[in-house]
Structure 1
Amino acid sequence: MKPSLFISCLLCISIFMDSCNQKSTMNTNPLLEEFSTVHNTPPFDQIQSSHYLPAFKEAIIKAKADIDKIVSSTEEPTFENTILALEYAGKQLNDVSNIFFNINSAETNEEIQAIAREVSPLLTEYSNDIVLNETLFRKVKTVYDSRNKLNLNEEQLKLLEDSYKGFERKGALLKGEDKERYRSITSKLSQLTLQFGENILAETNGYKLHITDEADLSGLPAGIIEAAATVAKSENKEGWIFTLQFPSYVPFMKYADNRELRRQMYMAYSTRANHDNEYDNKEIITQIVNLRLEKAKLLGYENHAQFILEERMAQTPEKVNTFLDELFARSIDFAKNEIAEVETFAQKNGLKDQLQRWDFSYYSEKLKAEKFDFTEEMTKPYFQLEKVIDGVFGLANSLYGISFKENKNIPVYHKEVKAYEVLDEDGSFLAVLYLDFHPRSGKRGGAWMTNYREQYIKDGKNIRPFVSLVCNFSRPTEDTPSLLTHNEVTTFLHEFGHGLHGMLANTTYQSLSGTNVYRDFVELPSQLLENWGTEKEWLKLVGKHYKTGEVIPDELVDKILASSNFQSGYLSVRQLSFGMNDMAWHSINTPFKGLVTEFEKEAMAKTELFPQVEGTCFSTAFSHIFSGGYAAGYYGYKWAEVLDADAFKAFKKNGIFNKETAASFRKNILSKGGTKHPMELYVAFRGQEPTPDALLERSGLVK
């Protein structure tokens, strides 16, 4: 809140009163007050960057007091006074952290980033003070050891088991120097992973292709040109500006006829954080993987992958590698044939050199157009963002009976963000949903779902979640609304699937709620919802021409469906290569001392389908594993594809809008969070464990 201004002609008494009011206002921190907003949502309209650091410091003090109360209690440790007390400790700190780190991803600035660097070690220290407290761990262990005598229900027992394992896996059994080294490692990792992401954002924002010669726009669709002109105009420049943000970069690589400019864009994107400058991530990668290895060894594991996978469906690095290798074997011949087909096509259409990476999207799109009489750009007029939102909301209503109502009284963190109240079929309040769709300099790339508050039940009251979906779709121009490609529609469905996992959560404990599940299970709801994006019945409901209102023609829908498996072998191998790269980095058993680029080249060698390009490096911008939560877990996308392909067969069998099937999925999976082992939840819905057959069949990877 802004302090009141002084006016020189005021009487002395007025000046004194204003001074007191100013001091009072400056001492008010909305993050530390009870939120008096609609549904007690974060008061974004009151929060300033300067509020965060003092809020963190105060909330940490309060959280420590909660922990001290548990530790100093002279009562016999029980589920209620120890495990439940831990579950509810530090609520304000959790709220402040959720708000701050979500803003740091979606609407950051230099001040926010500086605060993140300062506060991350404080949070790590606080976390370590909990799990490394020997007295507290003894109390947790006392309750855990007597678990079979406590008559706990299934969810209580799961919370107890997870609490105990959490202490063990975070160093509670360490002693002396090992315990202090663990503290040091975790603190350093929190700083390094943060810096990794900041470097990528800086490198992404730091490059712009400024075109002033109209001839260089040859091949680009009118909408892409218009968007680039809008960017240039916003920077008071003539011509057109293309960036490394996906809505600009991807269509440029697909459609720009100028091969040299495609090469420049490709090199800028693929060399991010690999320029030996202040934003270089190579040394950071070396430090991250070595510290993760050292931490794993301190905890008694051979490597970081073994440590992570103990708490995943896949269980072991060997099982993950076997899974990746089996899918690779089923995909590679298809991929090689697809690459050869594009190269032959390119040479017939004027390419005199060897097919390079900056050529592949361009000639693939032309080949796709020739084979199917279809390009992604053809779909955009029928997928106006606002109509797609309505269509996705309608799908959720058809399946689960839930409805969405925009509420402009709910504060948002940016003027482009919209907030919705989500209501269940009986009209009861389910959640608040924030939607944030367009690229900004303060927003990281990609698309994601997150929570500002997770669902839980306390004192008989069901505390409902605040869910946010963040994407990077083309923003509207002066003449055209935001229009999505079919691929972007699929991206929205994916994130909305995650959103449903959060919004429909219905568990007692926050730590077991919604998306708090194994990482190789969390992608099931998101990838399952993508399937509706290739169903004619739904596409006909959502696809409306933005000018005429005409329903998307059957002919165009047929082309979308016919081309849906175009280059599925290549796409499979590409995704598998990322998983193999991840597993290689996190399966090292001795400290890494080599060159990041050479290690990556060896890790991904068998998946390589193009000539190597000097200077490029995928790992230096692999935020999923070096600044996100997917270390030793990127394989989970393919793992969940097996699950979602098998699960969708149930919907296909009973009807894609069948409420009974949807109700079963909601009851057995979406509402359950992490209250049971994922395979138990899956079998409860499907009646059987999945096999890869449905995925291979859906992808056309069956010879």
Structure 2
Amino acid sequence: MTNPLLQEWDTPFAIAPFDRIADEDFAPALEEALSAHLAEVDAISGATEPPTFANTIEAMEAAGKLLDRVLGTFFTVAGADSTEAREALQREFSPRLAAHSAAITGNRALFSRIDALWQDRDALDLSDEQARVLMLTRRGFMRAGAALEGAQAERMTAIKSRLAVLGTEFTQNLLADERDWYLELAEGDLDGLPDFLIRAMRAAGQDKGVSGPVVTTSRSLATPFLQSSPRRALREAVWRAFTSRGGRGGKTDNRAIAAEVLALRAERAALLGYDSFADYKLETEMAGNPQAVRDLLMAVWAPARAQALADAAVLEKMLAADGFDGPLEPWDWHFYAAKRRQAEHDLDEAALKPYLQLDRMIEAAFACANRLFGLEFAPLDVPLYHPDCRAWEVTRDGRHVAVFIGDYFARGSKRSGAWCSAMRGQAKFPQVQAPVVINVCNFAKGDPALLSYDEARTLFHEFGHALHQMLSDVTYESISGTSVARDFVELPSQLYEHWLEVPAVLEEFATHAETGAAMPAAMLDKVLEAANFDQGFQTVEYVASALVDLEFHAGPPPADPMQKQAEVLEGLGMPRAIAMRHATPHFAHVFSGDGYSSGYYSYMWSEVMDADAFAAFEQAGDAFDPETAKALERDILSTGGSVEAAELYTRFRGRLPGVEALLKGRGLIAA
């Protein structure tokens, strides 16, 4: 076997040998891995011995390791370094993987063995973790349609296959729009732009093969351009391009895809006996049902909208003072909000950014993890899938804990946004395996690379997810790391953002790119004072997206999602100068797959907890209090999905928090 995906990997810590893997290796490796996995499943379901936890549930946990390895490698490169060949493979693989999954959950003999164990669970003498894995396994089969028969089972399989195809098409259409659009700028168009942005735009121009600077729809370029360009017509052009991704007509338009996805999800839920897809999806989350989500979002919406409208009135006066007739438009908000922040807090992005070097912020994230959890990070010299990537070995007390890979820079081959994934999850069965975790971001390149404060917060956010994977300490991979309720998974990531705001962290790591000087105390004070600046805008754009997502799925599927989106926003009284953070045609959280469908609210649900969780450190009088850090690791970061999320949080804090902590944290009510 010459295919490196099918060989044992003799690389350090069994990292994928990216330098030996070619695109043409993936299809035959997938073929082999699918066949091997089905053979393993058939051996389990066809066993003549009565079902036991070992010969059924543990056997399933041990099965499919080759498939995990192939897919972990493929989806890493497909999302972060796409090529035409990889996009074609994604289109080919999506329906096959859906059919493969359906063949397993539709295996009646296998489900019969699982169900028999469930019915006899009280007599099995299982550990708490084993009982949890049994429950989750059976529940997963039930929710996948394992109890369906005949035409209903066949229809469920067809729906899953079609949804997999549509999710891939949605993602690839969006990537194409993001890759293809850019605006070339003349030298005169650079007036008023900070040097760091001009350098980044020139680098982006080189990447696009043009001689001058360009603006792309990468958030790391579009947002600072909207904040700093005094040319209103150019701001409008960039804003319209950014917000129309996936909805510009032609072969990359995602609107029809969104409509079909919503219809198929509703049908899928109905086959399983649920009133709506949101009822189906939220059943297993902390929220439990659509009304609980709606209640949370609306409790935040009212004060956020009031703050946004008050802010809009101030910004519109600034617009008028510049000689423009109102009203304030969405492409004006960032520009005038930046001017207002500078006026009210004397905080200028161009002056701040040199203190937020990417490399120093990575060091800061590592240093916080060291002080909290004793983790140490040593660079690894191993081949990775792109020259921009870098890797570290993570250890504690000299013991190997994980491999961490960082892929931080924007490029045309990478989908937008930021994410964390595990190429290999932590487990102790069938043998001990340490995780290989990757953070992917889209920061503008530079020498050195400089971040905005929001981008530095994104780096800490994704590293919080990585810590959830690295510190996992469970037996079974199916419940390790971030394998938790969707509205709990953002807690570790959003909680970790708080350490960026610890003054001692910025004092040590926010050093000037040219002089090496620490951030002046006055600037540090201004950064922390301005932490809640423009929260009305940020909260409104987020909550609007979350409510549209919920209403898409909480009733009959809309024939025209764009009309439904407009109706929801009108019903909310959406401020005219603010757009949804993610309009339907580029709402990848919701339409690239089922992960955040009916679940975009999860960030806010978790924020209710993260504000309260960091308060535990504040109450201890030390952001790095050892006992509180130990409790955080023990009760949340190490446990994966081995216990219900609400119970885990209650173990850590003694009770569940209310929404007040979130509102105070965002400055939307008095502290």
Shorter chain as denominator, the TM-score bin is over 0.9
2:589 corresponding residue in structure 1: 624
> Aligned pair 1:441/2:441, yes or no?
no
What is the CA-CA distance between 1:379 and the residue it aligns to?
1.7
1:20 corresponding residue in structure 2: none
What is the CA-CA distance between 1:234 and the residue it aligns to?
4.5
Q: Distance in 1 between matches of 2:111 and 2:352?
A: 57
Check whether the contact 2:312–2:328 (CA below 8 A) recurs between aligned residues.
Answer: no
For residue 323 of structure 2, the aligned residue among 344, 347, 350 is 350
2:191 corresponding residue in structure 1: 218
For residue 397 of structure 1, the aligned residue among 363, 366, 370 is 370
Q: Tell me: CA distance 1:271–1:236, structure 2 relative to 1, closer, same or farther (3 Å).
A: closer
For residue 514 of structure 1, the aligned residue among 460, 476, 481 is 481
Q: Tell me: CA distance 1:98–1:233, structure 2 relative to 1, closer, same or farther (3 Å).
A: closer
1:168 corresponding residue in structure 2: 142
What is the CA-CA distance between 1:231 and the residue it aligns to?
2.7
2:662 aligned partner, one-letter code? L
> Aligned pair 1:156/2:126, yes or no?
no
For residue 41 of structure 2, the aligned residue among 49, 64, 67 is 67
> Aligned pair 1:643/2:637, yes or no?
no
For residue 463 of structure 1, the aligned residue among 433, 436, 445 is 433
1:14 corresponding residue in structure 2: none
Q: Distance in 1 between matches of 2:37 and 2:120?
A: 27
Q: Tell me: CA distance 1:235–1:156, structure 2 relative to 1, closer, same or farther (3 Å).
A: closer
1:304 corresponding residue in structure 2: 277
> Aligned pair 1:548/2:515, yes or no?
yes
1:53 aligned partner, one-letter code? A
What is the CA-CA distance between 1:63 and the residue it aligns to?
0.3
Check whether the contact 2:18–2:383 (CA below 8 A) recurs between aligned residues.
Answer: yes
Tell me the secondary structure at the aligned position of residue 669 of structure 2: coil
2:393 corresponding residue in structure 1: 421
Q: Distance in 1 between matches of 2:488 and 2:305?
A: 25
The number of aligned residues is: 667
2:109 corresponding residue in structure 1: 135
Segment of structure 1 superposing worse, 307-316 or 546-555: 546-555
Check whether the contact 2:196–2:350 (CA below 8 A) recurs between aligned residues.
Answer: no
1:87 corresponding residue in structure 2: 61
2:568 corresponding residue in structure 1: 603
1:472 corresponding residue in structure 2: 442
Check whether the contact 1:77–1:143 (CA below 8 A) recurs between aligned residues.
Answer: yes
For residue 95 of structure 2, the aligned residue among 121, 130, 142 is 121
Q: Distance in 2 between matches of 1:74 and 1:413?
A: 45
2:210 aligned partner, one-letter code? K
What is the CA-CA distance between 1:473 and the residue it aligns to?
0.9
Q: Distance in 1 between matches of 2:561 and 2:597?
A: 16
What is the CA-CA distance between 1:348 and the residue it aligns to?
2.1
Q: Tell me: CA distance 1:666–1:580, structure 2 relative to 1, closer, same or farther (3 Å).
A: same
What is the CA-CA distance between 1:570 and the residue it aligns to?
2.3
Q: Distance in 2 between matches of 1:216 and 1:419?
A: 39
What is the CA-CA distance between 1:617 and the residue it aligns to?
8.3
What is the CA-CA distance between 1:569 and the residue it aligns to?
2.2
Instruction: Report the aligned-residue RMSD.
Output: 1.5
For residue 431 of structure 1, the aligned residue among 391, 402, 411 is 402
For residue 318 of structure 1, the aligned residue among 269, 284, 291 is 291
What is the CA-CA distance between 1:330 and the residue it aligns to?
3.0
1:378 corresponding residue in structure 2: 351
Cα deviation, 1:49-94, whole Å, max 9, x if unaligned, reads 0000100000000001100101111000111111111111111011
Q: Distance in 2 between matches of 1:235 and 1:676?
A: 48
> Aligned pair 1:450/2:421, yes or no?
yes
For residue 109 of structure 1, the aligned residue among 67, 83, 87 is 83
For residue 291 of structure 1, the aligned residue among 264, 270, 289 is 264
TM-score by length of 1: 0.93
Q: Distance in 2 between matches of 1:693 and 1:91?
A: 45
TM-score by length of 2: 0.97
Q: Distance in 2 between matches of 1:158 and 1:385?
A: 41
Note the residue ranges of structure 1 that are not aligned, 5 or more in a row.
1-26
Q: Distance in 2 between matches of 1:74 and 1:345?
A: 78
For residue 460 of structure 2, the aligned residue among 493, 512, 520 is 493
Tell me the secondary structure at the aligned position of residue 471 of structure 1: strand
What is the CA-CA distance between 1:235 and the residue it aligns to?
4.5
Q: Distance in 1 between matches of 2:564 and 2:608?
A: 29
Tell me the secondary structure at the aligned position of residue 415 of structure 1: coil
Check whether the contact 1:331–1:569 (CA below 8 A) recurs between aligned residues.
Answer: yes
What is the CA-CA distance between 1:404 and the residue it aligns to?
0.2
Q: Distance in 2 between matches of 1:531 and 1:237?
A: 40
What is the CA-CA distance between 1:604 and the residue it aligns to?
2.0
Tell me the secondary structure at the aligned position of residue 435 of structure 1: strand
1:335 corresponding residue in structure 2: 308
Cα deviation, 1:383-405, whole Å, max 9, x if unaligned, reads 11111111111111011110000
1:651 aligned partner, one-letter code? F
Q: Structure 2 matches for 1:34-73, cutoff 5 A?
A: 34-73=8-47
Q: Tell me: CA distance 1:109–1:535, structure 2 relative to 1, closer, same or farther (3 Å).
A: same
Q: Distance in 1 between matches of 2:665 and 2:314?
A: 21
Check whether the contact 2:542–2:581 (CA below 8 A) recurs between aligned residues.
Answer: no
For residue 558 of structure 1, the aligned residue among 519, 525, 532 is 525
Cα deviation, 1:74-115, whole Å, max 9, x if unaligned, reads 000111111111111111011111111121110111100101
> Aligned pair 1:278/2:245, yes or no?
no
Q: Distance in 2 between matches of 1:204 and 1:250?
A: 14
Tell me the secondary structure at the aligned position of residue 421 of structure 1: strand
Tell me the secondary structure at the aligned position of residue 192 of structure 1: helix
Tell me the secondary structure at the aligned position of residue 519 of structure 2: coil
Q: Distance in 1 between matches of 2:73 and 2:395?
A: 23
Tell me the secondary structure at the aligned position of residue 497 of structure 2: helix
Check whether the contact 1:267–1:616 (CA below 8 A) recurs between aligned residues.
Answer: no
Segment of structure 1 superposing worse, 564-573 or 666-675: 564-573
Tell me the secondary structure at the aligned position of residue 470 of structure 1: strand
Q: Distance in 1 between matches of 2:166 and 2:507?
A: 47
What is the CA-CA distance between 1:587 and the residue it aligns to?
1.3
Check whether the contact 1:49–1:112 (CA below 8 A) recurs between aligned residues.
Answer: yes
Tell me the secondary structure at the aligned position of residue 428 of structure 2: strand
Q: Distance in 2 between matches of 1:237 and 1:177?
A: 56
2:395 aligned partner, one-letter code? L
For residue 687 of structure 1, the aligned residue among 650, 654, 657 is 654
Q: Distance in 2 between matches of 1:167 and 1:234?
A: 46
Cα deviation, 1:157-181, whole Å, max 9, x if unaligned, reads 0000001101100001101100000
1:11 corresponding residue in structure 2: none
Cα deviation, 1:18-45, whole Å, max 9, x if unaligned, reads xxxxxxxxx5111011111101111111
Please identify the structure whose Cα radius of gyration is greater.
1
1:414 aligned partner, one-letter code? H
Which portions of structure 1, spanning 4 or more consecutive aligned residues, are displaced by more than 6 angstroms?
none
What is the CA-CA distance between 1:430 and the residue it aligns to?
0.3
> Aligned pair 1:701/2:668, yes or no?
yes
Q: Distance in 1 between matches of 2:100 and 2:563?
A: 38
Q: Distance in 2 between matches of 1:235 and 1:102?
A: 23
Q: Structure 2 matches for 1:583-602, cutoff 5 A?
A: 583-589=550-556, 591-593=557-559, 595-602=560-567
What is the CA-CA distance between 1:596 and the residue it aligns to?
2.7
For residue 532 of structure 1, the aligned residue among 470, 493, 499 is 499
Q: Tell me: CA distance 1:328–1:674, structure 2 relative to 1, closer, same or farther (3 Å).
A: same
1:18 corresponding residue in structure 2: none
Cα deviation, 1:133-155, whole Å, max 9, x if unaligned, reads 11111111011100001111100
Cα deviation, 1:228-275, whole Å, max 9, x if unaligned, reads 223334455332111111121111111111111111111111111212
Cα deviation, 1:644-698, whole Å, max 9, x if unaligned, reads 0000000111110112111110011000000000111111111221112222222
